[in-house]
Amino acid sequence: TGTFFVGGNWKCNGTKESITKLVSDLNSTKLESDVDVVVAPPFVYIDQVKSSLTDRIEIAAQNSWVSKGGAFTGEISVEQLKDIGCKWVILGHSERRHIIGEDNQFIGKKAAYALSQGLGVIACIGELLEEREAGKTFDVCYQQLKAFADAVPSWDNIVIAYEPVWAIGTGVVATPVQAQEVHVAIRDWLKNNVSAEVASKTRIIYGGSVNGGNCAELAKQEDIDGFLVGGASLKGPEFATIVNSVT
């Protein structure tokens, strides 16, 4: 579905020095032209990355405030993200859900506000290991999807990232069959609860221990439309391999 989409989520990693190196590696690698490529640096380095990284790669933030900026100590507003050149924001990442404690409703509101101001949203969903083991994978994903669907007026500018929590940062990647099964379920949910058009147009990308070695098999799955990459996105050449895995 649509143009293959690969995002690099740098999470809370990097220094001025390591990011200078990563940007220069990204600038000198060949990226296939028919792939949308986005990186999400920590807030404090976005300006540095924006001014040094090739325009071929768009910038995402890893979070945004839920409404217009103002007296919200420690937060970063959507307006500020746009001001420094972000095109996207990652929302609902499992680390924000499960470590920081953001809930479905709050995440839905954030998505609606970011979209209203013209940012694209990388909307993350995914089950915990105990939820998978209890047979609740689809239910959990559907609830998380519903919270987005209830809050947003349009899906035009949303990419869904399916990231099973047990696969994130663990080295335990979902098998192509496991990932494809959930991606199909997500698409069916969109078809039944939003529209057939949104179901067929919305890109559903996979995240969780994607690397240069496992990306090609995953990319072959019909409903895997790209990747959201953590650890392996901190290495320029490996990230390029993942970007180019669709071809």
The binding site for ligand 13P (CB under 6 A) comprises 9, 93, 163, 168-169, 207-210, 228-232
CB of 68 to ligand 13P, least distance (A): 27
- Is 93 assigned a catalytic role? yes
Closer residue to ligand 13P, CB minimum distance, 37 or 210: 210
* Nearest C-alpha neighbor of 183 from the set 210, 156, 155, 164: 164
- Three-state DSSP state, 123: strand
CB of 38 to ligand 13P, least distance (A): 11
Catalytic pick from 93, 102, 183, 238? 93
R_g over Cα of the chain: 17
Closer residue to ligand 13P, CB minimum distance, 77 or 233: 233
CB of 64 to ligand 13P, least distance (A): 15
Catalytic pick from 102, 127, 163, 238? 163
CB of 71 to ligand 13P, least distance (A): 30
CA 16 to chain centre: 23
Q: Which residue has the tokens 């924000």?
A: 96
- Is 98 assigned a catalytic role? no
Closer residue to ligand 13P, CB minimum distance, 86 or 199: 86
Which tokens go with 41?
């640096």
Closer residue to ligand 13P, CB minimum distance, 108 or 208: 208
What φ, ψ does residue 196 adopt, rounded to 5°? -65, -35
Secondary structure (H, E, C), 158-207: EEEEECCHHHCCCCCCCCHHHHHHHHHHHHHHHHHHCCHHHHHHCCEEEE
Cβ-proximal residue to ligand 13P, closest one: 230
Please give the positions annotated as active site. 93, 163
